């Protein structure tokens, strides 16, 4: 049977890439890839159970796999583990074999099936696989994270506690005077640092871009920027430290840290996530509450935020937040930039009489905002 597959693959390999370079073919190829990976993973699990690998003197099926198929040890272990997990996920297995979902979705489901969530998974697998089929991966991951909060609240709170416990930052000076470091932050502290850093990074990116333009005109491309992204990040960190030094002690915190959505749960289920979309456990918010800025957004329908309607050309303040909170990311189908890093765009343009109210707003990243105006 595998020789037939080989013959098919030979044909495909002999095909010019250009002949397959259309959307439909790409989608079909990736679906075939997923199906093949499902079959290979399933077979690996059966091989693992057969203990046939013992005959070769291997200590485990994954070390056999790593040696025979030249896989990195962690990849081999992942494959065996996923194959084992598949036995308890019959709906996901079928969807994977059909090519409707891929290894990433199946891994997420297998990871969510912790011992205390086994029963809930058996009950909800159909629903979760439905999400996996329909949603793009980031939205699916978020759905699984929320599901885990319901199915295994103790487990997720414990995990959040472990994440917080595991926080660390090391910085040390090397022999030649340079500084080295690494760190691990829990989701909330990490989001705070990342946001501050990204904002400065965006400023430096604009500055680099302006400099490249002034040097090379319109021909300037990303490769002409004076700094690499890593260098820009390093400079952003130093700049953040400099700014911390001049920030007044009684300075106003720049924006709300937490948003409380009133009347939204009934429409969309429980929401407990950061503006960047990371789902966090309710307990992990508690310690922030005495120092946090909390804002309240009141919904009275799936996409209707009770507006603060101001005759203003720009979406600012509460109106801007209403759109951010409702839509979460850039409006464009192929884009996932978080709304907090987007501009808020008028659906019906301001110039055409479109009002600056939440119902007429949508997040648009700089790229998709520009594109839209080019077309219209
Ligand atoms: Zn976009």
Residue 266 sits in the same domain as residue 197: no
Residue 242 sits in the same domain as residue 262: no
Tokens of 168: 């660390």
pLDDT at 373 over 60: no
- Is 324 contained in some domain? yes
Tell me what pLDDT residue 309 has. Answer: 37
How far does the centroid of ligand 1 lie from the alpha carbon of residue 140, in Å? 19
Residue 144 sits in the same domain as residue 68: yes
Neighbour tally for 195: CB within 10 Å: 18
Write down the residue that tokens 């709300």 correspond to.
Answer: 256
How far does the centroid of ligand 1 lie from the alpha carbon of residue 324, in Å? 13
Closest CA to 196 of 143, 255, 240, 142: 240
- Is 277 contained in some domain? yes
Of 101, 133, 151, the residue at which a domain comes to its end is: 151
Tell me what pLDDT residue 322 has. Answer: 82
Residue 241 sits in the same domain as residue 278: no
HSE at residue 83, side-chain half, CA atoms within 13 A, is: 22
Write down the residue that tokens 């019906």 correspond to.
Answer: 348
How far does the centroid of ligand 1 lie from the alpha carbon of residue 372, in Å? 10
Residue 264 sits in the same domain as residue 294: yes
Tell me what pLDDT residue 254 has. Answer: 57
How far does the centroid of ligand 1 lie from the alpha carbon of residue 368, in Å? 5
Residue 287: give the domain boundaries.
258-375
Q: Which segments within 157-279 are labelled E, that is strand?
A: 168-173, 179-184, 258-262
pLDDT at 357 over 70: yes
Taking residues 300-315, what's their average pLDDT? 57
How far does the centroid of ligand 1 lie from the alpha carbon of residue 370, in Å? 10
How far does the centroid of ligand 1 lie from the alpha carbon of residue 276, in Å? 14
How far does the centroid of ligand 1 lie from the alpha carbon of residue 321, in Å? 18
Tokens of 145: 């994270």
Of 218, 246, 274, the residue at which a domain comes to its end is: 246
- Is 268 contained in some domain? yes
- Is 166 contained in some domain? no
- Is 289 contained in some domain? yes
Q: What is the chain's mean pLDDT, rounded? A: 86
Write down the residue that tokens 């760190």 correspond to.
Answer: 183
Taking residues 264-272, what's their average pLDDT? 62
**What SS3 class is residue 225?**
coil
Residue 39 sits in the same domain as residue 69: yes
- The CA-atom distances, in angstroms, between 272 and each of 67, 199, 289 are 44, 24, 14
Residue 223 sits in the same domain as residue 262: no
Residue 263 sits in the same domain as residue 200: no
Tell me what pLDDT residue 137 has. Answer: 93
> Which residues 6+ apart lie within 8 Å of 280 measured at CB?
160, 187, 188, 272, 273, 274
**In this structure, are strands 294-301 and 258-262 parallel, antiparallel, or unpaired?**
parallel
Residues 354 and 346: beta-carbon distance below 8 Å: yes
Taking residues 308-324, what's their average pLDDT? 71
pLDDT band, residue 289 (cuts 50/70/90): low
How far does the centroid of ligand 1 lie from the alpha carbon of residue 323, in Å? 15
Residues 144 and 128: beta-carbon distance below 8 Å: yes
Taking residues 1-13, what's their average pLDDT? 92
Residue 306 sits in the same domain as residue 212: no
How far does the centroid of ligand 1 lie from the alpha carbon of residue 361, in Å? 14
How many domains does the chain fold into? Answer: 3
- Is 294 contained in some domain? yes
pLDDT tens-place string over residues 160-215: 888 889 999 999 998 889 999 999 998 888 988 998 899 999 999 999 999 999 99
pTM for the model: 0.72
Residue 58 sits in the same domain as residue 115: yes
- Is 352 contained in some domain? yes
């Amino acid at each position: 049977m595998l020789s037939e597959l080989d013959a098919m693959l030979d044909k495909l390999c002999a095909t010019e890439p250009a002949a397959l370079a259309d959307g439909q073919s790409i989608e079909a190829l990736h679906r075939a890839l997923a199906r093949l990976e499902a079959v290979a993973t399933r077979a690996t699990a059966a091989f693992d159970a057969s203990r046939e690998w013992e005959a070769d003197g291997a200590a485990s099926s994954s070390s056999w796999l790593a040696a025979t198929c030249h896989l990195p040890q962690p990849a081999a272990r992942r494959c065996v583990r996923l194959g084992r997990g598949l036995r308890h996920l019959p709906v996901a297995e079928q969807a994977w074999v059909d090519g409707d979902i891929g290894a990433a979705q199946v891994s997420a489901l297998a990871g969510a099936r912790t011992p205390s969530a086994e029963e809930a998974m058996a009950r909800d697998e159909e629903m979760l696989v439905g999400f996996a089929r329909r949603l793009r991966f980031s939205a699916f991951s978020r759905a699984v994270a929320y599901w885990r909060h319901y199915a295994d609240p103790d487990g997720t709170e414990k995990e959040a506690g472990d994440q917080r416990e595991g926080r660390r930052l090391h910085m040390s000076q090397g022999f030649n005077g340079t500084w080295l470091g690494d760190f691990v932050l829990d989701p909330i502290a990490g989001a705070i640092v990342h946001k501050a850093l990204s904002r400065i990074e965006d400023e430096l990116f604009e500055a680099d871009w302006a400099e490249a333009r002034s040097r090379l005109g319109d021909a300037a491309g990303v490769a002409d920027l004076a700094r690499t992204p890593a260098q820009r990040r390093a400079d952003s960190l130093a700049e953040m430290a400099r700014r911390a030094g001049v920030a007044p002690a009684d300075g106003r915190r720049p924006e709300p840290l937490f948003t409380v959505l009133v009347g939204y749960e009934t429409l969309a289920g429980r929401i407990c996530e950061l503006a960047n979309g990371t789902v966090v456990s309710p307990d992990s918010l508690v310690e922030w509450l005495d120092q946090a800025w909390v804002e309240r957004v009141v919904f009275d329908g799936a996409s209707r935020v009770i507006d603060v309607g101001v005759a203003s050309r720009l979406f600012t303040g509460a109106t801007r937040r209403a759109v951010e909170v409702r839509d979460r990311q850039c409006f464009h189908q192929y884009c996932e930039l978080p709304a907090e890093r987007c501009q808020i765009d008028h659906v019906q343009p301001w110039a055409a009489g479109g009002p600056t109210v939440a119902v007429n707003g949508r997040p648009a990243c700089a790229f998709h905002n520009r594109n839209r105006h080019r077309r219209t």
